[in-house]
Amino acid sequence: MAKERAYDYIQMPGDWPSPRACLGYSLVQQLYVLYKLNIIGRTTIDQIKSSIDLIKYDQDEIKNKAEKIAALIKGKIPVIYTSDRMEAVAVRFRQQINENSKFLAWHHVIPEMNHNELVGWKDVYDNIAVIYFRNKDDFRRNAVRMDINKEVISKYCDSIIEIYSKGQSLVEKSMYFVHLGDWVSWYLAELRGVDALEVNVIDHLKGELAKLG
């Protein structure tokens, strides 16, 4: 339809198994549209390219780290905490664990969780693994909040993992976390013996909804 009307459009590959496996295409597409509309500058595009270089250079280390993290959280419910500016990363990681690893997880951001969820840590939880996504340039008060959080939560949970990002810009740090989290979810799927691509329950939901017309 866009071609018939001479509209600008970007064609996504049609042979990918799932949207979550197509992030590289969808993310770059959206950034390119914003760039062409002069909403973002060339700097963001350059940071994406730098992110690719970083991921390629650290690929073996990222995969090794992801495999170790997957082994540590196997059999436990992952609870993901990060600063508010990194919430998109936490959402992505939670969803990848849900879909790829076929497992429940939840996330929250700092400082918001300090006003509510922190109060919920009052019992010992042997079935939970807390994962902190951190950056060396996090806002100072948020960094201190995370330190205090860890001190409080360590009284009730003995599985606490801190992961620091790599990269210079927020884009690079975010893409590093996304790539690492994706690999964690993949290795966790292997450890659990599940098919990372299978989403039968979502297909069932769509099928039932289709009956409504």
Active site amino acids: 99, 115, 206
Taking a C-beta distance cutoff of 8 angstroms, is the pair 124, 168 a contact? no
Bridge partner residues of 83 (DSSP): 110
Residues 6 or more apart in contact with residue 27 via CB below 8 angstroms:
48
Q: d(Cα 140, Cα 83) in Å, to the nearest integer?
A: 11
Q: d(Cα 24, Cα 142) in Å, to the nearest integer?
A: 30
Residue with tokens 């995969």: 63
Q: d(Cα 194, Cα 114) in Å, to the nearest integer?
A: 35
| Kind of pairing between the strands at 160-164 and 128-134 | parallel
Dihedral, 74, 79, 80, 81 alpha carbons, nearest 10: -140
